[in-house]
Amino acid sequence: MSDVQWVYGLHACQSALQNQADRVRELVLLKGRQDKRIQAVLDEARAAGIKFRWLERDAFERLVHQQQLGDARHQGVLVQMLAAPVLDEGGLEQLLDGLNKPALLLVLDGVTDPHNIGACLRSADAAGADAVIVPKDKSASLTPTAVKIASGAADTVPFVVVTNLARTLEQLKKRGIWIQGAAGEATASIYQSDFAAPTALVLGAEGTGLRRLTRDTCDGLFMIPMAGQVSSLNVSVAAGISLFEAVRQRLAR
């Protein structure tokens, strides 16, 4: 991953300027757009002493293309910043050592859509999860799309990339963290599962679900009861339901 990343979109850029100004290098604005929301972003940059520039539309779109932001819905604002820190196994150990409450981790097994990564980060932030963990291979990373969809959560929720997911789950077990996997074939409902203890919630990609080795490593499997005709939920929706069921159980205790 590059040491520098581009963030786009009003909400994501304003969040970066408000919460991570020390990592922001530059604000780039589309010339001609000068509404209240753009002005608010510009005011944030000025207050933090961050340089900014205006570009004509052709030059702005050329920059978007050069940075391989695809069909980014940039809303006329880009921020160049140092990339969000990504933790490895050692960083995860340090994070867990510093916790003063039961761990709540979200593990994503084989989720390759950066939109889903971003949405899961957002849910993890809202639920107060301690980290989101993904494998190095066969997973999306913190792309500009994921960062935008996360709406600032990429700066607040530690993102951990591990070389061997099954091995990491085994290490979590040794720490007393229960590994609970979401699987459609599970017999136990999410509402029958105990997430109040230190827990890692493990979710797979929509359609394929958990890989066999990951499933075999789990202490328990749970399913989300489905009352309609669809067979599965989007992984980010399932993650939000699971995380907030853990929050509900912990508040009830």
Whether residues 32 and 72 share a domain: the answer is yes
pLDDT of the residue at 179: 98
Whether residues 44 and 17 share a domain: the answer is yes
Stretch 46-71: mean pLDDT: 89
- Angle (nearest 5°) at CA 122 between 109 and 98: 75
CATH of the domain at 201: 3.40.1280.10
pLDDT of the residue at 33: 81
Percent of the chain with pLDDT over 70: 98
Is a pLDDT exceeding 70 seen at residue 70? no
Closest-CA residue to 185 (of 138, 234, 232, 134): 232
For residue 154, report the phi and psi dihedrals to the nearest 5 degrees. Answer: -65, -20
- Domain closes at, from 26, 54, 82: 82
Domain with 17 in it: 4-82
Is a pLDDT exceeding 80 seen at residue 72? no
Stretch 147-155: mean pLDDT: 83
- pLDDT, tens digit, 9 for 90 and up, residues 76-131: 999 999 877 789 999 999 999 999 999 999 999 999 999 999 999 999 999 999 99
Whether residues 10 and 125 share a domain: the answer is no
- Domain closes at, from 41, 62, 82: 82
pLDDT of the residue at 211: 94
Whether residues 11 and 50 share a domain: the answer is yes
- Angle (nearest 5°) at CA 58 between 56 and 60: 65
Is a pLDDT exceeding 80 seen at residue 233? yes
pLDDT of the residue at 154: 85
* Six token digits for residue 129: 């999860």
Whether residues 15 and 92 share a domain: the answer is no
CATH of the domain at 48: 3.30.1330.30
Instruction: Identify the band that residue 71 occupies on the pLDDT scale cut at 50, 70 and 90.
Output: low
Which residues lie closer than 8 Å to 216 by C-beta, 6 or more apart? none
- Domain closes at, from 37, 63, 82: 82
pLDDT of the residue at 141: 87
| Predicted model pTM | 0.81
Whether residues 51 and 98 share a domain: the answer is no
Whether residues 95 and 71 share a domain: the answer is no
**What is the rounded distance in angstroms from the CA atom of residue 189 to the CA atom of residue 48?**
49
Closest-CA residue to 114 (of 158, 176, 78, 70): 70
Is a pLDDT exceeding 70 seen at residue 1? no
Count of other CB atoms within 10 angstroms of residue 241: 15
Q: Give all strands (DSSP E) within the chain, no chain letters.
A: 4-8, 24-30, 52-55, 77-82, 86-87, 104-109, 131-135, 159-162, 178-182, 199-204, 220-222
Whether residues 10 and 37 share a domain: the answer is yes
Whether residues 113 and 38 share a domain: the answer is no
- pLDDT, tens digit, 9 for 90 and up, residues 155-206: 889 999 999 999 999 999 999 999 999 998 899 999 999 999 999 999 998 7
**What is the rounded distance in angstroms from the CA atom of residue 146 to the CA atom of residue 180?**
25
Whether residues 101 and 192 share a domain: the answer is yes
Identify the weakest region by mean pLDDT among 104-113, 206-215, 237-246.
206-215
Whether residues 204 and 149 share a domain: the answer is yes
Whether residues 145 and 228 share a domain: the answer is yes
Domain count, the chain: 2
Is a pLDDT exceeding 70 seen at residue 216? yes
Stretch 31-52: mean pLDDT: 91
